[in-house]
Chains A and B, each alone.
Chain A
Amino acid sequence: KQEVTQIPAALSVPEGENLVLNCSFTDSAIYNLQWFRQDPGKGLTSLLLIQSSQREQTSGRLNASLDKSSGRSTLYIAASQPGDSATYLCAAPRGSARQLTFGSGTQLTVLP
């Protein structure tokens, strides 16, 4: 059974800082790992998906890495902005149905 853990549960940083969010998973036989953003009371927006054969993916100020052997993924956010404030969730698919197993998320607050 896949278990996904995210640390820290909450993070508050001043605007402009670079930051790293952590995600760990127990079953390294994953197809891919996906990072999502969720604003309060809203659905999930996909940020980055890293295939199992890849080491990292980049989109703008976001960079996600994947280390299957250690069961870890990180999401790096450069030059954080108040608009980055949200909950960030990582998820890994399992089984033939590819249903996602999520971590509990990291609630990020970027202070102006």
Chain B
Amino acid sequence: DTGVSQDPRHKITKRGQNVTFRCDPISEHNRLYWYRQTLGQGPEFLTYFQNEAQLEKSRLLSDRFSAERPKGSFSTLEIQRTEQGDSAMYLCASFGGNSRDTQYFGPGTRLTVL
């Protein structure tokens, strides 16, 4: 257990539905990252927060994706009008405090879009 939690662990949805994932980082970490991982590939960066401010977004993050981190604590990632191509593992990582540059990853949310 890295100290980063994600909910839900698995989500199955039908194409066109909206889904929301939650990430709870290690409490003293001010940086929070979202990554997406497809089968057989390494994770790809989606977006990054420092405290409550969303400072960078990848081109992978289409208009259907939105992320928030109210009060600089937990974060949510919402996907609207899901498509089959959104099926992937969504990983959250946190960094800061005494982590010595190490990013700590949560267990991920596996999304399947039917």
Contacts and interface: CB of A to CB of B under 8 A. Distances in A.
The residue in B6, B55, B89, B101 that gathers the most chain A C-beta atoms within 10 A of its C-beta is B101
Contacts of B25: none
Contacts of B45: 99-101
Interface stretch (B13-21, B36-44, B68-76, B77-85): B36-44
Main secondary structure of the interface of B (DSSP, over half): strand
B107 A43 contact: yes
A45 B2 contact: yes
B42 A102 contact: yes
Contacts, number: 69
Contacts of B40: 104-105
A31 B101 CA distance: 9
B102 A49 contact: yes
A4 B42 contact: yes
A89 B42 CA distance: 7
For this complex, into which size category does the number of interface residues on chain B fall? 20 to 34
Interface in A64-112: 89, 91, 93, 95, 97-105
Interface in A9-63: 31-32, 34, 36, 41-46, 49, 51
A97 B55 contact: yes
Given A102-B42, A104-B40, A43 B106 contact: yes
B91 to A, nearest CB: 6
B91 A98 contact: no
Interface of B: 2, 4, 6, 31, 33, 35, 40-45, 48, 50, 55-56, 89, 91, 93, 95, 100-108, 110
Interface of A: 4, 31-32, 34, 36, 41-46, 49, 51, 89, 91, 93, 95, 97-105
29 contacts: A4-B42, A34-B101, A41-B110, A42-B107, A43-B2, A43-B4, A43-B6, A43-B106, A43-B108, A44-B105, A45-B2, A45-B105, A49-B100, A91-B42, A97-B48, A97-B55, A98-B31, A98-B101, A99-B33, A99-B48, A100-B33, A100-B43, A100-B45, A100-B93, A100-B103, A101-B45, A102-B42, A102-B44, A105-B41
